[in-house]
Amino acid sequence: MKEAIRQAKKAWKIEEVPIGCVIVYQGKIIGRGYNRRTTDKNPLAHAEISAIKKASKVMGDWRLEECTLYVTLEPCQMCSGAIVQARIPRVVVGCMNPKAGCAGSILNLLQVEAFNHQAELTTGILEEECSQMMKSFFKELRKKQKMKKKEQESANMPEENP
């Protein structure tokens, strides 16, 4: 999870929501990813998708059946679906996502019995660190947006005549 947090910090550095992911096979990291959705102007550029692509390339297969995925924030529906499709058997989550999480918060797509694959799920690993990173990022973002709004308002104010 520490490496997933390092990946999330890379996202933060480029002003992306700080989500990081790593995929481990036999004790070695074979895929890393961090959120790049805004940077790449691509709704698919989530940390998990990037890590799955890289791990699949390393493994030479789309099936990641002996891997563990570590992610700082509970996966969304797209990423949960990709995890199921990649046949990843174990998922470790830092903090939950009550607004968009699909590994237990809103839905649990990782463990739907009707699907041909379910993943073992562990949550709350380095939860405080992962959660605090998200809170700090959004606090900083709101502050920047507020400053930008004030700058725009002052630039649009008519000048007074002396």
Instruction: Report yes or no: 22 and 32 within 8 Å, Cβ to Cβ.
Output: yes
State the pairing for strand pair 20-25/28-34: antiparallel
**List 16, 48, 113, 120, catalytic entry:** 48
74 catalytic, yes or no? no
Structure tokens, 145: 């947006």
- Could you list the active site residues? 48
